[in-house]
Structure 1
């Protein structure tokens, strides 16, 4: 019985020693590793114009109200479809009751419908917007980075980020007196593209209140986008 216990203890000790070998190997693997980070950025033009227009009316007859709103929106859609390279999207459409001063009796209904226009042709969309403001109101004018432009800038930034990471890796290797390095892991991440830039409400109000069709001013500007390269290298010592 004692012999069995001693054998079991020796077996447990042997298993423990074998189990520690991977831990030692892992320690050796990480012995000369350094975590590094590089970031690159560039200014990218906002080349997509987004305009939101809306109509809002009220009437005591909900059916008449819906018909009036539909007529106004259908007219705007038909006019917008005549302009090339403009994407049309119908936005939200909501109807809600209007109550008396006591908040108990419904005295009428109000309905609002939106039309969203997108285009990279700023001049064409600005002209159309001015024309549609005779029947619709301005809800907002935004500027964003178009998908093709975003993809192109990401590709360029990815190459620049890798180059910057390798330059930093070589700098760290030289500082430590190493003869070279190996990249252990590398993660490339875009820091996200900014939300559309919204135009100031006072400028939009001035354009919509003018008696004659007005072509709104366009100031799209640029956005700074960036990409980071996070990773680790193993420095090879002489």
Structure 2
């Protein structure tokens, strides 16, 4: 005798609408950016030490000697930071027979002191050749710029959200629905000129001239805030 009542109760609950989330009315999406131009403060040189010869041990010994001499110069100047990137030895063939060996070592050196690195390159011409030379913004300087631009971009975003709210008649009131911050880096740097590369490969009896670096280049850093607000 209780079955009809139970059925009626079940139907009553089923008919009640369930609102899991409010509808997102009055949502506006937009973006704001902050831009800064930063001077490139880090100079990086990729140096190559290479020897060829018929005897593998003799070839490798010569490369090791030259590598030790280069590393000693790097260690003597605290402004320089060097690292052995790669070293390899491979045989040279002629008519399927080994006729010699080539030993190559690659060293990357970086410094914020451009003059110190230029002196190292000039002093090491007998030990290493410059494969390439470039400039960039150091990690510390880039992080500092990104943090400051993020603050500015977020201020721009919230200021515009308030203006939109006032203009649309909501009295400057709004809630942030979602937000996304993106970074963009655009380098306007200078690579090593052919003259620099040739100069580094020359075998000069006297002291080699040093490079004068006045304009290493710049990097444009852009922080963009994309998001949505609900009025």
- Is contact 1:41–1:226 with CA below 8 Å preserved after alignment? yes
TM-score if structure 1 supplies the norm length? 0.84
SS at match of 1:203: helix
Deviations 1:87-114 (A, max 9, x none): 11111111111111x4x22211111101
Gaps of 5+ in 1: none
Q: Cα 1:92–1:195, aligned 2, differ >3 Å: closer, same or farther?
A: farther
1:189 corresponding residue in structure 2: 181
Q: How far did residue 197 of structure 1 move?
A: 4.6
1:225 paired to 2:221: yes
- Is contact 1:41–1:224 with CA below 8 Å preserved after alignment? yes
- Is contact 1:50–1:116 with CA below 8 Å preserved after alignment? yes
TM-score if structure 2 supplies the norm length? 0.86
1:138 paired to 2:130: yes
Deviations 1:38-67 (A, max 9, x none): 111110111011111111111121111111
1:69 corresponding residue in structure 2: 63
* Structure 1 stretches of at least 4 aligned residues deviating more than 4 Å after TM superposition: 194-198
SS at match of 2:16: helix
Q: CA RMSD in A?
A: 2.6
Q: How far did residue 122 of structure 1 move?
A: 0.9
- Is contact 1:61–1:109 with CA below 8 Å preserved after alignment? yes
Q: How far did residue 186 of structure 1 move?
A: 4.8
1:207 corresponding residue in structure 2: 199
Q: How far did residue 163 of structure 1 move?
A: 1.4
1:166 paired to 2:158: yes
